[in-house]
Amino acid sequence: MLRRDFAAIRQDFPALQQLVHGKPLAYLDNAASGQSPRAVHEAVAQQQSHDHSNVHRGVHSLSERSTAAYEGARHKIGRFINASIEEVIFTRGTTESINLVAATFGQRLKAGDEVLITWLEHHSNIVPWQLLCERTGARLVVTPIRDDGSLDTAEFDRQLGKRTKIVAFAHVSNALGTINPVAEMTAKAHAAGAVVLIDGAQAVPHMRVDMRSLDCDFYAFSGHKMFGPTGTGVLYGKRTLLAEMPPYQGGGDMILTVSFEATTYNSLPYKFEAGTPNITGVVGLGAAVDYLEEIDFDAVAEHERTLLEYATQRLLDDIPGARVIGTAAQKASVLSFVIDGIHPHDLGTIVDREGVAIRTGHHCAMPVMDRFGVPATARASFAFYNDYGDVDRLIAGLTRAVEIFRG
């Protein structure tokens, strides 16, 4: 039976049991990085303590155990996202996954072609396409967002055209929590003849994603957002496209044979995994997937929805001058806000003294901040292990900040 007792689940996360500044931790920075359950720590410790060895190349027992655990994680991820193992490329995270596609598939672009992105994007889904356009002479086109933080879908439809070769967009906005209609957007992009990349960093920890159902061409996500180790990530790519693309880097497992005259490349997925990988991190990521497979994601969605509604209402009712940035009808568990007369960085510092961890700043989404005319926001982001008590502690900390700044 899938787990849905979130109070019990919370006990699986050692970091959540600690005191910060003498007060119980309320960790509300999950959009930046999720905490890891004990099962992930144990898998990492086992790999480091007993199985530490390189993968794929050794015939001794430690190497064989490392290889089995490393490739086992690939199989787990393939099942988790409904993809074949040849389509699961290990990277350092969403950023590297997007850069990989821009640097390899992007080679086919030429002057006059267009890359379509949206105003909601994280910098990691902006800058690689800017660099690609600089190299190729292609043009970057950006779909605007409405005042509530939702995508202007009518403008998206208008901007799609014969020149559109790549369409890249977030599944969920990290700065606002907006959930894009990604399946619909993908179908429209395909109808226009474009290839689609989805930044799924903020989606995978909160909802089931199915590559066959989405039908996107590429999907990128990060291990540390989904309660695994940092420095790990995945690029899903359709097998036919990956087979046509040149390697991203050279050396190590991405080759079959090397001579001074020519090199033949390895089969998928290894063609894109040069050098010694983050073996321990990937093993930990596999353990994170095992953990997530035990969770009822329908219950997660409902739990996080009620937390977001409760936090939003309390913020607006109890904190004078508070304003929510991003009020789209379809939102994930991200509450981005400002309070009149108090800089978000000051809010973050004060609530930290109360044991509450939130994110402040532009959230690597400066165009979003420009769109709403603010230099930064405070952002509370929830995961399934959060509860109403965490929200109450946040509101108490914000109340304290208002008292300090307004007397």
Residue holding tokens 């209609």? 181
Question: Is the per-residue pLDDT at 78 higher than 80?
Answer: yes
SS (H, E, C) 305-366: HHHHHHHHHHHHHHCCCEEECCCCCCECCEEEEEECCECHHHHHHHHHHCCEECEEECCCCH
Structural domains of the chain, with CATH: 41-293 (3.40.640.10), 296-406 (3.90.1150.10)
Give the tokens for residue 392: 């109450």
Residue holding tokens 């190729």? 136
- From 81, 353, 72, 42, select the one nearest 228 (Cα to Cα): 42
- pLDDT tens column, 265-292: 889 999 999 999 999 999 999 999 999 9
Given a contact cutoff of 8 angstroms between Cβ atoms, the answer to whether 404 and 342 are in contact is no
Percent of the chain with pLDDT over 70: 100
Question: Is the per-residue pLDDT at 306 higher than 80?
Answer: yes
pLDDT band of 252, cuts 50, 70, 90? confident
Report, as an integer, the average pLDDT of 237-249: 96
Q: How far apart are the first and last CA of the chain?
A: 52
Which residue type occupies 192? A
**What pLDDT is attached to residue 332?**
96
Q: In whole numbers, what is the pLDDT of the chain averaged over residues?
A: 97
Report, as an integer, the average pLDDT of 8-37: 98
**What pLDDT is attached to residue 57?**
80
> Crossing angle of helices 344-353/388-406, nearest 10°?
120
- From 124, 101, 125, 339, select the one nearest 238 (Cα to Cα): 101
Report, as an integer, the average pLDDT of 27-37: 98
Given a contact cutoff of 8 angstroms between Cβ atoms, the answer to whether 194 and 173 are in contact is no
H/E stretch holding 117 reads: strand 114-118
**What pLDDT is attached to residue 251?**
87
**What pLDDT is attached to residue 246?**
94
342: phi then psi, degrees, rounded to nearest 5: -130, 125
Question: Is the per-residue pLDDT at 407 higher than 80?
Answer: no
Given a contact cutoff of 8 angstroms between Cβ atoms, the answer to whether 143 and 155 are in contact is yes
Given a contact cutoff of 8 angstroms between Cβ atoms, the answer to whether 271 and 89 are in contact is no
Rounded to whole angstroms, what are the CA distances from 340 to 105, 377, 406?
45, 11, 10
- 221-239 burial, b at 16+ Cβ within 10 Å, e below that, comes to bbbbbbbbbbbbbbbbbbe
- pLDDT tens column, 117-157: 999 999 999 999 999 999 999 999 999 999 999 999 999 99
**What pLDDT is attached to residue 259?**
85
Give the tokens for residue 225: 């957002």
- From 116, 292, 258, 289, select the one nearest 198 (Cα to Cα): 116
- From 10, 33, 31, 121, select the one nearest 381 (Cα to Cα): 31
pLDDT band of 94, cuts 50, 70, 90? very high
- pLDDT tens column, 2-12: 999 999 999 99
Report, as an integer, the average pLDDT of 313-320: 98
pLDDT band of 255, cuts 50, 70, 90? confident
Question: Is the per-residue pLDDT at 71 higher than 80?
Answer: yes
- From 157, 113, 121, 118, select the one nearest 139 (Cα to Cα): 113
- The alpha carbon of 129 is separated from its chain's Cα centroid by a whole number of angstroms, namely 18
Which residues are part of the catalytic machinery? 364
